[in-house]
Amino acid sequence: MYKRNTNASRGFGLSWHLTLSKLKIPLIILLSILLGAILLRLPLKFSSVLPIVLIPGIVIFFWIIKYPVWGIMAVYFIEYARPQDQFPQLAPLRIAMLTTIVVFVSFLLSFVTKKRRVIWTNQSWVFLFYMALIGLTVLTARNNFWAYRTFYSMMLLFVTFFLATNLIKTEDKLKKFIWMLLIIYGYIAIKGIYQYLAGNPWGTTGIVLGDFLSDENDLALALVVILPFSYFLVFHAKTQLKRLSALFLLFLYILCIVFTMSRGGFIGLVAVLGYCWWKSPQKIRAVLVGSIFIIAFSVLVPKKYVEELKSIRNTTQGTAETRREYWKAGFKMFKDHPIIGVGAGNDGIYLPLYYKGKSNPNTQWGRVLHGTIPQVMSELGIIGFFCFLAFFCFNFRDTRRISHIYSSSHTQYGFGQYVGNSVNGSMIGFLVASTFLSALYYPHLYTITAITVMLKNSVFSGQGIEHSS
């Protein structure tokens, strides 16, 4: 396992020489522990199918150990495509958490055996400090369990962010990652469009998936965030097939946003499309494509959607009035708890004490504030708000720097400009569309931040050389 290093000048003079072959037994032990943990949590009715998935599971385990970058891709696939929502039998297996653990083990083995350096950026420090703050509120919150549950979910996002930014370090891998997200959201958009056309009690896209995609407004926000990546890909793609694919995905995203009937989604869509046109390398072509889209949507847009948009101006009744009262309650919570807030996930606990609307305050327990800014300020205070802003500031700074590098060294629309403009458009879309949603703990902002760091990895490690998309 180790041998004496005669040239060692300090310590005990022992130099470790770890290899995967020497770690077979520890890996088998780790796999046994994971399988044991699954068995303890697995309902009895699922035990009969365990032998069927056991061998493929072992093969996947060692495959991820050898190729951790595909493992982290799988983690994001599970997070966004959410197969556990479509196949409830998968839910007890906790496949996202287990895959993350295996990828983390693989990264540690690579760190020890190959002596790879850890990539740690300003965004990493912000995220770590952010997690420390959320962890602190677990102790200070009135409802410790809700704060802990939030901390747990955010810790998984933090670990995923750390692994992704350390494993996806080249332009080629980042391209594959972005294409994976685009295709996943294409599937989600198709499902939403189908559910609208098939009809449902809500007259919208309905519930497409769970968690952060659980209702129409959540779906609209997610599509607004991913939309810039398909838009700018139309100009960056080097082949006609990829260019047409990006254009088709863009059409799907916009159509699905319309079918959600989300007013917040519409405002976010307008903001993103305005930014995309402003940053378009070929504005005349963008106007022509936009004109075709407008003609198509004039036929496809339902009358109900137009009526929903007209109601945006009515801020004195209905959901707009309720949302305004929620925001007031959130800012009152911030006023009374300005430093670290009332605790992660605890704004709904305090809402009956601060809500002054028409409804009975006792009926407001556990509700959300329907606004990301009121949410971060009420739950995490001024410190959390500065952390929230820091993500945007560092991302904007990095994308601006990278875009400048590419614009000065490439005559064509470079990969750095494509991803940089897409990231900025996504952040603008998130800020605008999440104004009407409590989306602080959704993965969107942290995935955008991860992509920014991945881009920085590919450029400043000497791997960001332009080649065919």
State the Cα–Cα distance between residues 434 and 218, nearest whole angstrom: 9
- Cα–Cα distances (Å) from 402 to 15, 167, 464, in that order, read 40, 20, 10
Residues in CB range of 1: below 8 A, 6 or more apart: 16, 18, 22
Task: Give the tens place of pLDDT for each residue, 239-253.
Answer: 888 889 988 999 899
State the Cα–Cα distance between residues 269 and 39, nearest whole angstrom: 45
Residues in CB range of 302: below 8 A, 6 or more apart: 258, 259
How confident is residue 181, by pLDDT bands cut at 50, 70 and 90? Answer: very high
State the Cα–Cα distance between residues 225 and 215, nearest whole angstrom: 16
The pLDDT of residue 388? 94
The pLDDT of residue 394? 94
Nearest to 343 by CA among 149, 126, 144: 144
Q: What's the average model confidence in pLDDT over 108-123?
A: 79
State the Cα–Cα distance between residues 1 and 168, nearest whole angstrom: 30
The pLDDT of residue 410? 57
Name the region of 356 (left: φ>0; alpha: ψ -120 to 50; beta: rest).
alpha
How confident is residue 436, by pLDDT bands cut at 50, 70 and 90? Answer: confident
**pLDDT mean across residues, the chain:** 78
Residue 385 has pLDDT above 90, yes or no: yes
Q: What's the average model confidence in pLDDT over 430-442?
A: 89
Q: What's the average model confidence in pLDDT over 81-92?
A: 73
Is the CB of residue 377 less than 8 Å from the CB of residue 332?
no
Range in 360-364, 393-397, 454-458 the model is least confident about: 360-364
Task: Give the tens place of pLDDT for each residue, 268-320.
Answer: 888 998 888 888 877 777 777 777 667 666 666 666 666 666 565 555 555 66
The pLDDT of residue 54? 58
Give the distance, in angstroms, between the CA of residue 366 and the centroid of all CA atoms in the same chain: 24
Measured distance between the N- and C-terminal CA atoms of the chain, rounded to whole angstroms: 45
How confident is residue 409, by pLDDT bands cut at 50, 70 and 90? Answer: low
Give the single-character DSSP code of 168: -
State the Cα–Cα distance between residues 98 and 77, nearest whole angstrom: 14
Q: Give me the phi and psi of 124, to 5 degrees please.
A: -65, -45
Which residue carries 């998935």 as its tokens?
A: 53
Name the region of 410 (left: φ>0; alpha: ψ -120 to 50; beta: rest).
beta
Residue 58 has pLDDT above 80, yes or no: no
Task: Give the tens place of pLDDT for each residue, 328-384.
Answer: 888 888 998 999 989 898 988 888 887 776 676 677 776 778 889 999 999 999 999
Nearest-10 Cα torsion for 108, 110, 112, 113: 150
| 3, β-bridge pairs | 15
- Cα–Cα distances (Å) from 439 to 1, 186, 192, 243, in that order, read 48, 21, 20, 31
Give the distance, in angstroms, between the CA of residue 51 and the centroid of all CA atoms in the same chain: 33
Could you tell me what percent of the chain has a pLDDT over 70? 72
Task: Give the tens place of pLDDT for each residue, 146-180.
Answer: 999 999 999 999 999 999 998 888 888 999 999 99
The encoded tokens of residue 156 equal 């998984």
How confident is residue 412, by pLDDT bands cut at 50, 70 and 90? Answer: low
Q: Which residue has the higher pLDDT, 57 or 240?
A: 240
